[in-house]
Structures are given as structure tokens and as C-alpha cells.
């Protein structure tokens, strides 16, 4: 599984950037349509849940995002 940031909700607070123990996120450099520098999932392969299906072993970022902007996506979905 990997995380995805929904630009409709992210306000660029960067909590995910600072809280992820595996440094999966980076500060954004481009303005979103809402006018925020939304964070970026820059190293999804570093996540504890990379190549995991079913039970997640870390959810710090999804639980910490104040805008519920982070969701999970199956890595298999990206290859289609
Ligand atoms: S914690 Fe949520 S709102 Fe804040 S930068 Fe990360 S994804 Fe965006
Ligand atoms: S689940 Fe944990 S390791 Fe994975 S991106 Fe979120 S905070 Fe980082």
C-alpha cells in the first residue's frame, strides 16, 4: 500500500513531512489549485507499508493529517 495526498484537501501544513519516521514526504514546491504548497509523497517505497497488503503497521501520517487529505491506495492499482 502507498499513501496519496488529495490536493482538494491538503493545506500544506507539512505535519506529514515532519511526523513520518521514514521521511516519505517532502515539502511541496508548486501551488495547488487552492493556493497551497501541498506536500508531496516523494519516497513511497520507504513507507513501512510498502509492498504490504491487508493490515497496516504504521498510520501516523493518515491519523495526523488535520484535513484527512491522506488516503491509501493499493500499489497494484498504479501498474494498471
Ligand atoms: S498533514 Fe495533511 S494537510 Fe498537512 S501537508 Fe500533509 S497532507 Fe497536507
Ligand atoms: S504510514 Fe508511517 S511510514 Fe508510511 S508514510 Fe505514513 S507515517 Fe510514513
Q: What is the pLDDT along the chain (80 residues), one digit of tens a residue?
A: 999 999 999 999 999 999 999 999 999 999 999 999 999 999 999 999 999 988 999 999 999 999 999 999 998 766 55
Residue 35 domain boundaries? 2-79
β-bridge pairing 2-5 and 70-73:
antiparallel
**Counted domains in the chain:** 1
Atom of ligand 1 nearest to the CA of 61: 1
pTM of the model: 0.93
Centre of ligand 2 from the C-alpha of residue 67, in Å: 16
Task: Indicate if ligand 1 lies below 6 Å from the C-beta of 40.
Answer: no
Judge whether 29 and 37 are in contact, CB under 8 Å.
yes
The CATH number assigned to the domain holding 58 equals 3.30.70.20
Task: Indicate if ligand 1 lies below 6 Å from the C-beta of 12.
Answer: yes
Alpha-carbon span 53 to 19, nearest angstrom: 23
Amino acid at each position: 500500500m502507498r499513501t496519496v495526498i488529495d490536493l482538494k484537501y491538503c493545506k500544506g501544513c507539512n505535519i506529514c513531512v515532519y511526523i513520518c519516521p521514514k521521511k516519505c514526504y517532502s515539502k511541496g514546491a508548486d501551488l495547488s489549485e487552492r493556493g497551497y504548497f501541498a506536500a508531496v509523497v516523494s519516497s513511497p517505497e520507504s513507507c513501512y507499508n510498502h509492498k504490504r497488503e491487508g493490515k497496516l503497521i504504521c498510520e501516523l501520517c493518515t491519523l495526523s493529517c488535520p484535513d484527512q487529505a491522506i488516503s491509501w491506495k493499493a500499489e497494484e492499482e498504479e501498474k494498471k
